[in-house]
Amino acid sequence: MSPLKITIRDAAAGPVLEIAGELDYDTVSELRELIPTVSLRPGQRLTLDLGGMEFCDSSGLSALIAAHHHAHTAQADIALEAVPANTLRILRIVGLDQIFSLDQGGDTGLGADRSR
């Protein structure tokens, strides 16, 4: 079991949350508590970099949906980047690939690192 680690950095398009480890029932509260604190302006993009995510259960999917709602409320966009194959498969099965922009490569830019 890998502990969840979330790193926030600023990029030109907006904040980037790098999510590593396991996003599941036992760890999801950390992300759910962090999401409302992420400042977004209209037109920005919230990027969730999932390249380091090893596992995501239904609780994790719920947190991703909460992030989508947070961005939508702020009139901002949201993108999932570097989605692991197993998570991408689940997103497609449940239809979440239709509400998230999926960026499998993309340049999120460089900026200040803020770990949580």
Q: What pLDDT does 103 receive?
A: 78
How many C-beta atoms surround the C-beta of residue 101 within 10 A? 13
pLDDT digits (tens, 9 = 90+) for 7-32: 999 999 999 999 999 999 999 999 99
Cα dist. 76→3, 15, 42, 68, 93 in Å?
29, 11, 5, 9, 25
pLDDT digits (tens, 9 = 90+) for 56-100: 999 999 999 999 999 999 999 999 999 999 999 999 999 999 999
Give 2's pLDDT tier (boundaries 50, 70, 90). Answer: confident
Question: Region 37-48: what's the mean pLDDT?
Answer: 98
Residue with the bigger pLDDT between 69 and 109: it is: 69
Please state whether 104 falls in left (phi above 0), alpha (psi between -120 and 50) or beta: alpha
Cα dihedral 41, 43, 48, 51, rounded to 10, equals: -140
| Residue type at position 47 | T
CB under 8 Å to 112, separation ≥6 — which residues?
9, 10
The full set of domain ranges for the chain reads 5-105
Q: CATH 3.90.330.10: does it fit domain 5-105? A: no
CB under 8 Å to 74, separation ≥6 — which residues?
40, 41, 42, 44
Residues in the chain: 116
